Amino acid sequence: MTRPTESVVDGSGARQDQGATARTPARPQDLPAVDRLLRQPAAAALLAEHGHTLVAGEARTLLDGLRTQALAGALEAAAVQPATLAAALEERVQARLAPRMRRVLNLTGTVIHTNLGRALLANAALAHVAAMMAGPNSLEYDLDSGGRGDRDSVVEELLCTLTGAEAATVVNNNAAAVLLTIAALARGKEVIVSRGELVEIGGAFRMPDVMASAGATLVEVGTTNRTHPKDYAQAITPRTGLLMKVHTSNYAVQGFTASVDEAEIARIAHQYGLPMATDLGSGALIDMTAWDLPAEPTPQQKIAAGCDVVTFSGDKLLGGPQAGLIVGRKDVIAQIRKFPMKRALRMSKLPLAALEATLRLYLRPERLAQDLPTLRLLTRPAGELQALAARLQPAVAAAVAPRFTVAVADMLGQIGSGSLPVARLPSAGLAIAPAQKKGAGRALDALAAALRAMPLPVIGRIADDRLWLDLRGLERPAEFTDQLPMLQAALRGQPDTTCHETA
Ligand SMILES: *Cc1c(COP(=O)(O)O)cnc(C)c1O
């Protein structure tokens, strides 16, 4: 860190006569030294609150930047006024302390949005995490015997009750669950998968690559659209370690298709003394059709069908924290649990506490649509959203006028995160359109940027020359409407063509 000009600056330079410096640019020697800036009352208050390290560091960086501007003759005299400098310092300190991960309002219409953190945790889960993390807990301690316990036992019994499986173990996420399952059961062996199920989930999770990472050899059978039982049977050799089915969660194969169901693949596998695993991805723990939502396979169905292992995510339809759940036959789960890679993929106590509390909600299915935010959002009736849109429309219209017009609109949302890919959720919200056709794209970008720049950023979706705000994700409307004056000010302050794309 260099402070080249400070000895020259130290002095009364900063107290220039304002009248004389108003038009001329500030000179480097007009800037105070760091210590002098820190003696400003406002800066002293910052020091008292945040300590010397942070505040002095930011003061140094601030003054270095201003000095560079002054040397270039590009610094306005007003910028070196003590009050201005103190305000700039406070802004820098606050910006440095501001978290990068921020709460946002998800008005995209996609309920389980991977980029926006997937499932929202239930209050019960939030409370349990807070309570368990505030002190020591029985993570790996058996309170009955006073001896060492296993962290899996926090949720194993619950998972067995809910899925009908004999045993269960958990890891960081479902990608880890699939990797571990394949590695533990088929490292150095062959794994048979249908060509119609070689999925890419996104974010570099491709079944063939996972297979390679796990040290197994993928044996593809059947064709993209049709795979038959005999395809599996004929591919089995002494090198085979596992038969696997992958739920095609983010796409659908339609038309002239045939696939082999789990029960049939499991029967073939067991004929040859081999295990059979299925990766469900989303893993709804309840029959979604009971809430008029599209059907999604459940782990309990797959266990009942004879699968030895079923893997699924914790933060998709299950509505819990990021987690990979592995349920199945006792001996197979034991083999997976003792595989060394398990230790590297093990779940932290934080999500484990959230997972336990989330799973407990499933013991009271009648209350689930109230208690579990994911299900609560998915089951909000379109009529309720239409009424909400009608109620918000006037205030939003006033805030974005005259550059935009606002209409109440029916929309089609989606569940998200690869769950039920073709299903659409009838929804409603506000469609905001630029008043003028000319420059409409830029106007929409500017509007989206202004929405993102609010204290609680609002994330919508641009399509068909409109910005769509699907209200399914808005449970507390005041969180949006309270910010409308800020949105209005931001739009008024913006020249028509600028687009503030700050990341
Ligand atoms: C989402 C998904 C995964 C990955 O699960 P994560 O919990 O995101 O790691 C794996 N397989 C399928 C079929 C999925 O849908």
pLDDT, tens digit only, all 503 positions of the chain: 444 443 333 334 444 444 444 467 999 999 999 999 999 999 999 999 999 999 999 999 999 999 999 999 999 999 999 999 999 999 999 999 999 999 999 999 999 999 999 999 999 999 999 999 999 999 999 999 999 999 999 999 999 999 999 999 999 999 999 999 999 999 999 999 999 888 776 667 788 899 999 999 999 999 888 899 999 999 999 999 999 999 886 667 778 788 889 999 999 999 999 999 999 988 899 999 999 998 899 999 999 999 999 999 999 999 999 999 999 999 999 999 999 999 999 999 999 999 999 999 999 999 999 999 999 999 999 999 999 999 999 999 999 999 999 999 999 999 987 656 667 899 999 999 999 999 999 999 999 999 999 999 999 999 999 999 999 999 999 999 999 999 999 999 865 444 443 43
The two three-digit tokens of residue 325, written as one number? 């759940």
Residue type for position 227: T
- State the DSSP code for 275: -
Ligand 1 atom 8: the closest Cα is on which residue? Answer: 174
Ligand 1 centre to CA of 316 (Å) is 9
CB-CB contact of 468 with 409 (8 Å): yes
Ligand 1 atom 7: the closest Cα is on which residue? Answer: 174
Atom of ligand 1 nearest to the CA of 418: 15
CB-CB contact of 371 with 352 (8 Å): no
Of the candidate CATH numbers 3.90.1150.180, 3.40.50.300, 3.90.340.10, 3.30.300.130, the domain formed by 382-493 belongs to 3.90.1150.180
d(CA 93, CA 71): 24
d(CA 225, CA 197): 9
Q: Given its phi and psi angles, is residue 30 left (phi above 0), alpha (psi -120 to 50 degrees) or beta?
A: alpha
Ligand 1 surroundings by CB, under 6 angstroms: 173-175, 178, 199, 201, 205, 246-247, 249, 279, 281-282, 313, 324, 418
Give how far Cα 112 sits from Cα of 258, 443, 473, Å.
Answer: 29, 28, 10
- State the DSSP code for 98: S
Which residues have C-beta within 8 Å of that of residue 474, sequence separation ≥ 6?
105, 107, 388, 480
Q: Given its phi and psi angles, is residue 41 left (phi above 0), alpha (psi -120 to 50 degrees) or beta?
A: alpha
Domains 123-371 and 382-493 share a fold: no
Ligand 1 centre to CA of 313 (Å) is 6
CB-CB contact of 236 with 242 (8 Å): no
Residue type for position 418: G
d(CA 296, CA 284): 7
The two three-digit tokens of residue 255, written as one number? 């038309």
Q: Directed axis angle between helix 330-337 and helix 174-186, to 10°?
A: 100
* Structure confidence at residue 23 (pLDDT): 62
d(CA 59, CA 120): 39
* Structure confidence at residue 219 (pLDDT): 95
d(CA 31, CA 75): 10
Mutate which of 112, 174, 194 for ligand 1? The one with the most ligand atoms within 8 Å of its CB, which is: 174
- Which residue shows structure tokens 């009271």? 364
Ligand 1 atom 13: the closest Cα is on which residue? Answer: 281
Ligand 1 atom 15: the closest Cα is on which residue? Answer: 281
Q: Where are the domains of the chain?
A: 20-97, 123-371, 382-493
- Which residue shows structure tokens 């029967």? 267
What is the strand order of the sheet 309-313 is part of? 167-171, 324-328, 309-313, 276-281, 240-246, 190-194, 217-221
Q: Directed axis angle between helix 82-97 and helix 52-71, to 10°?
A: 120
Task: Write down the pTM of the prediction.
Answer: 0.89
SS (H, E, C) 394-437: HHHHHHHCCCEEEEEEEEEEECECCECCCCCEEEEEEEEEECCC
For the stretch 240-259, what's the b/e string if a residue is b when 16 or more beta carbons lie within 10 angstroms of its beta carbon? bbbbbbbbbbbeeeeeeeeb
Q: How do 425-434 and 404-413 pair as beta strands?
A: antiparallel
Domain 123-371 sits in CATH at 3.40.640.10
Atom of ligand 1 nearest to the CA of 175: 9
Ligand 1 centre to CA of 312 (Å) is 7
d(CA 323, CA 82): 52
d(CA 109, CA 469): 8
Ligand 1 centre to CA of 281 (Å) is 4
Ligand 1 centre to CA of 182 (Å) is 14
d(CA 124, CA 141): 23
